[in-house]
Amino acid sequence: MSMLVRKISTHDPYQIQSRRLFPGHRHGSACLESKIGTGTGECRARHRNTGKFAHSAWCAHAFVTAIQLPVRLPFGSISNKTDPRAGLAGRNKSARVTDMADQQHIPLTRDTIRSGHIRDLIRQHATTYKVLSDEELDASLASMFPSGAPETDVWLFGYGSLIWNPSIHFAEQCCATAHGYHRRFCLQTHLGRGSPEVPGLTLALDRGGCCRGVAFRIPKETAAEELSIVWRREMVSDAYIPRWLSMTGPDGPFKALGFVMNRKHVRYVGQLTEEEMARTIERASGFLGPCSDYLFNTVEHLNELGMPDQGLTRLRDRVVEIRASGD
């Protein structure tokens, strides 16, 4: 039995095509459900028939799910969908009221990124870490290519907000798995999704396991411009380290640029428990909006793509419980 995967092209952003990969593989289409823990780096796949989890040695196939057609996802567009349950219980607004959080929310778009407005805001309030200059950002980007600039098409891996708000132009996207890292809320934010008084959390790739997300192919003709936007979005400080990630996608292995956690950075909080994460995410808000919206968006879009993250879903459910209880 072969393995089914989904590949999406921006030429028709609503079209999802099934492909067969690794024909004759003895596990076949057994990979129905992945388990990627937010804290353990765990990446396993559940066998379709037995319900048992397989070893992480073949978590390369964890992005594969049972195909449910059609699934209409307006990829390439900027979406800001949130979990409909977010407002049912009422937010603990008093816990979030800060000068920064009360500001009007700023949309994260190509224009706001390129204008430098968001980076200027962060620079004004960053007191415990450095905000990189344009020259430092350009040097960091150039260091990723032997010639200092892209000479071929470039794949970019999204595992959080890049999935539902890429803010770049790309030629193609597909579901893919990054190896050696797992997705975790381990990066503290005092501004975008939090405030100095009530810091929030954002996702990063931390060591171990694997992570399913979306890979974007950027044509070489526009790669320099598009990656410059990405760098000014993701590399505001040196909390992330750009890496060429080992990936598995519909057509087999490939390399993609991705941003992994700098564990030496002052904002690294990899020791948080799931309960601590949930309470932080429930309370925090910044000029990009509530931290909970960031979590809800990521969970919802991963589910729509057929790539549910059990750890993030469990975290989402706990945030909803806390909000409902008024704790």
Residue 77: inside a domain, yes or no? no
pLDDT, one tens digit per residue, over 72-103 is 233 333 333 333 223 323 333 333 333 444 45
Position 49: which residue type? N
The average confidence (pLDDT) of the chain is 75
Tokens of 313: 């879903």
Active site residue 234: yes
Residue 38: inside a domain, yes or no? no
Q: Indicate the pLDDT class of residue 136, thresholds 50, 70 and 90.
A: very high
Euclidean distance between CA atoms 12 and 73, whole angstroms: 10
Average pLDDT of span 160-184: 97
Euclidean distance between CA atoms 104 and 233, whole angstroms: 19
Tokens 């353990």 locate to: 40
Average pLDDT of span 143-167: 97
Q: Which of 234, 282, 300, 321 is catalytic?
A: 234
Average pLDDT of span 278-295: 97
- Between the alpha carbon of residue 68 and those of residues 20, 119, 277, 305, the distances in Å are 15, 40, 32, 9
Residue 316: inside a domain, yes or no? yes
Euclidean distance between CA atoms 219 and 247, whole angstroms: 18
Q: How many domains does the chain have?
A: 1
Q: Which one, of 78, 202, 219, 72, lies nearest residue 155 by Cα?
A: 219
Residue 27: inside a domain, yes or no? no
Domain residues for the domain of 254 are 89-325
pLDDT, one tens digit per residue, over 193-240 is 999 899 999 999 999 999 999 999 999 999 999 999 999 999 988 899
Average pLDDT of span 297-305: 98
Residue 142: inside a domain, yes or no? yes
Average pLDDT of span 28-46: 32
Report the pLDDT value the prediction gives residue 104, as an integer from 0 to 100: 73
CATH of the domain at 113: 3.10.490.10
Contact 161, 298 (CB under 8 A): yes
Report the pLDDT value the prediction gives residue 132, as an integer from 0 to 100: 86
Residue 318: inside a domain, yes or no? yes
Report the pLDDT value the prediction gives residue 205, as an integer from 0 to 100: 98
Residue 47: inside a domain, yes or no? no
Q: Indicate the pLDDT class of residue 36, thresholds 50, 70 and 90.
A: very low
Higher pLDDT, 42 or 130: 130
pLDDT above 90 for 20 = no
Angle at 118 between CA 114 and CA 124, to 5 degrees: 130
Residues 6+ apart with CB under 8 A from 34: 43, 44, 45, 46, 59, 62, 63, 212, 307, 308, 309, 310
Residue 33: inside a domain, yes or no? no
Residues 6+ apart with CB under 8 A from 19: 4, 5, 6, 7, 250
Report the pLDDT value the prediction gives residue 103, as an integer from 0 to 100: 54
Higher pLDDT, 121 or 22: 121
Average pLDDT of span 112-123: 84
Helix, strand, coil content of the chain in percent (nearest 5): 30, 30, 40
Residue 89 backbone phi and psi in degrees, to 5 = -90, -10
